[in-house]
Amino acid sequence: MHSPALHLVPPAILPPLDPEFRPASLAWSSFLKVATVPATLAIEQADGSVFHHSFRVIDPAEPGAGPTNAFFVERLAKFLLWAWGGWRLHVAGPAELATHLARHYQETAPGRFDSETIGTRIYGQPISVVGVASADKLPPIRSSTAPLGRHWNGCRIGFDLGGSDRKVAATIDGKCVFSEEVVWDPYFQPDPQYHFDGVMDSLRRAASHLPRVDAIGGSAAGVYVNNRVRVASLFRGVPPPLFESRVKDLFLELRRAWGGIPFDVVNDGEVTALAGSMSLEQNAVLGLAMGTSTAAGFVTPEGAITSWLNELAFVPIDYRTDAPVEEWSGDVGVGAQYFSQQAVGRLLSAAGIEVDPGLKLPERLKHVQSLMAAGDPRAARIYESLGVFLGHGLAQFSAFYPFRHVLVLGRVLTGPGGEILLEWARRVLATEFPSLAQQITLHLPGESDRRHGQAIAAASLPMVSPA
């Protein structure tokens, strides 16, 4: 009899501090060995873009097939929604697949969170599920790409807003003349003036190192359309009325304060990928930033970006039902708990590292990094575990992103632990996914770029006409 638990395969290389980790990459490999019935999910965006993903499910006539198929299809749909984005799911395959997904988005707390956050707040309508008889009845694939950044003329400021610090850089004709980071705590601040004042302070600090300011580019966690905030964890503490009246146009307000100069803000994941592509001088780059949460972006083999969300903080990574809970969505086993400061924080106890319970994540990370610098093996085991998570995460991502290069950066990678993390990720790929290991290259930027690379790349976002 089939059941989801039968496919929760332990990895060959266990994370030293999380041996119960059951990666989606191996679960799908096991599931597809017994799945024989074709199925396709098509995800539709508000502009008419449509993306397809084909797979197989177990024959519904087999005992236990229903719950097993439902589990895997829901986890897959969640991945597609947060990675690619969209509000309408078209399901070709056994009819019960669409029925289960529709109930999930209406009746479960994680499903309703996805429907409200992705559907309503980003695309303007709740997630809708449509079942079709066969794949030829699905809407055809339709997509678009666009260039991003790489403009360096003039005097520019770039900023990168994270959950624990904000970074800023000043550039003159592409040369960085100043960069710094300032600690802040935006997540649960109810007054958006806190956010406005914080960004303005960083911009003024950078401007003091320039003869003039021609343009400002920003990188921030969340979804932004035409410089307007659609949804962003940075503002999760702001009450809805204030979000509507002040936060949505916060960056337009900042632009006005700087005299209406070119001012562009995009998702931090996109800037992560842009920074990677520029530093490597390569395309087909997946950028992954491990900070307070997880940011990701993708530069296509042609050097453009897509309309995808790339919010890998919310995609399912670990398929065990008792995996760590993500605090905002309430779902389990998603990326933020494996590729961020949150992952470091939750592994402290297992590593035998005691800290003050009131210590916030950035300070906990600094403590681990100081132990790592001192050669403490307990800290090393944290990075080894993160490396196992990353190796399996990249194997999973490769089914959806045609990348050849992976640039990993962010505060978590600072110090010698970053090298250990990548070493273990490469070890996982070579052991479990040898063909993939030969196709992709993992990169760690220089120490400064790990922390400030996104802010510098963000400075290149706005186009400025030559004088």
> Which tens digits make up the pLDDT trace of 383-425?
999 999 999 999 999 999 999 999 998 889 999 999 999 999 9
What confidence score (pLDDT) does residue 447 get?
58
**Are residues 351 and 280 located together in one domain of the fold?**
yes
* Same domain? 156 vs 118: no
Residues pairing with 41 in the sheet: 53, 91
End-to-end CA distance of the chain: 72
Confirm whether 19 is domain-assigned: no
- The H-or-E segment that residue 24 falls in is helix 24-34
Domain boundary among 137, 165, 192: 137
Q: Which of 208, 192, 195 is nearest to 166 (CA)?
A: 195
Give CA–CA dist 32/93, Å, rounded. 15
d(CA 280, CA 103): 45
Tens of pLDDT, residue by residue over 247-285, are 999 999 999 999 999 999 998 888 888 888 888 889 999
Q: Which of 186, 195, 173 is nearest to 234 (CA)?
A: 186
Whether 347 is covered by a domain: the verdict is yes
Question: What would the two tokens of residue 384 be?
Answer: 């080894």
Q: State whether 91 and 216 are in the same domain.
A: no
Helix (H) or strand (E) holding 272: helix 268-280
Residue-number span of the structural domain to which 183 is assigned: 145-467
Query: Does residue 187 lie within any of the structural domains?
Result: yes
- Contact between 422 and 393 under an 8 Å Cβ cutoff? The reply is no
- Average pLDDT in the chain: 94
* Domain assignment of residue 7, yes or no: no
Distance of alpha carbon 289 from alpha carbon 105, whole angstroms: 29
Residue from 74, 78, 75, 64 nearest 34 by CA: 64
378 plus 412 within the same structural domain: yes
Q: Does one domain contain both 204 and 259?
A: yes
Residue 3 lies in a domain: no
Write down which residue in 91, 120, 137 finishes a domain: 137
The answer to whether the CB of 256 falls within 8 A of the CB of 282 is no
Does residue 107 form part of some domain?
yes
For residue 95, tell me if it sits in a domain: yes
The total number of structural domains that make up the chain:
2
Together in a domain, 246 and 318 = yes
Task: Count other Cβ atoms within 10 Å, centred on residue 5.
Answer: 13
Given a contact cutoff of 8 angstroms between Cβ atoms, the answer to whether 445 and 409 are in contact is yes
Same domain for 398 and 307: yes
- List CB contacts of 410: < 8 A, sequence separation 6 or more: 288, 289, 290, 291, 295, 340, 450, 451
The Cα 85–Cα 225 span in angstroms is 14
d(CA 302, CA 143): 14
> What pLDDT score does 449 carry?
59
- Do 129 and 97 share a domain, yes or no? yes
* Final residue belonging to a domain, choices 137, 156, 174: 137
**Is residue 178 packed enough to be buried (19+ CB in 10 Å), middle (13-18) or exposed (0-12)?**
middle
pLDDT beneath 70: ranges in the chain: 446-452, 467
Bridge partners for 295 per DSSP: 289
Token pair of 319, please? 């398929």
**Pair 282, 229 in one domain:** yes
Continuous segment of H or E residues that includes residue 406: strand 405-409
CATH, residue 242: 3.30.420.40
* Spatial contact of 257 and 305, defined as CB atoms under 8 Å apart: no
Going from the C-alpha of 28 to that of each of 41, 56, 147, 333, 393, the distances in angstroms are: 16, 10, 34, 15, 12
Q: Are residues 360 and 442 in the same domain?
A: yes
CA 354/CA 367 separation, integer angstroms? 10
How distant, in Å, are the alpha carbons of 282, 337, 376, 379, 431 from that of 17?
A: 35, 13, 15, 11, 19
CA–CA separation, 48 vs 54, rounded Å? 19
What would the two tokens of residue 18 be? 């999380």
Which is it for the CA torsion 49, 55, 56, 57, positive or negative? negative
Judging by beta carbons within 10 Å of its beta carbon (0-12, 13-18, 19+), is residue 435 exposed, middle or buried? exposed
> So what's the pLDDT on residue 187?
86
Do residues 270 and 340 share a domain?
yes
**What is the per-residue burial (b if ≥16 Cβ within 10 Å, else e) of 279-316?**
bbebbbbbbbbbbbbbbbbbbbeeeebbbbbbbbbbbb
Structural domain contains residue 103: yes
Distance between CA atoms of residues 196 and 246, nearest Å: 10
- Where do we find the tokens 């802040």? 184
CA distance 193 to 457: 26
Same domain, 46 and 185: no
